[in-house]
Amino acid sequence: MVGKRLIQVRRAFYEFEGTVERDEGLIELSFSDGVSVRFDVGADGESLATREGPWVDPFAPPHSIENEEYIRTHGKYSAFDVSVEDPYREMIGREVSGVHSVIEQMGHKCSGIVIEFGDLRLLIEVVADGLYVSYSGA
Q: What are the DSSP E strand ranges found in 1-138?
A: 6-16, 19-21, 27-31, 36-41, 48-52, 76-81, 98-103, 110-117, 120-127, 130-136
Cis peptide before 87 (omega within 30 of 0): yes
Tell me: the pLDDT tens digits for 65-91?
A: 999 999 999 999 999 999 999 999 999
Q: What pLDDT score does 10 carry? A: 98
Non-local CB neighbours of 93 within 8 Å, separated by 6+ positions: 5, 6, 7
Tell me: the pLDDT tens digits for 11-34?
A: 999 999 999 999 999 999 999 999
Full-model pTM: 0.92
Determine the Cα–Cα distance for residues 50 and 27; give it in Å rounded to an integer: 10
The domains of the chain are located at: 6-136
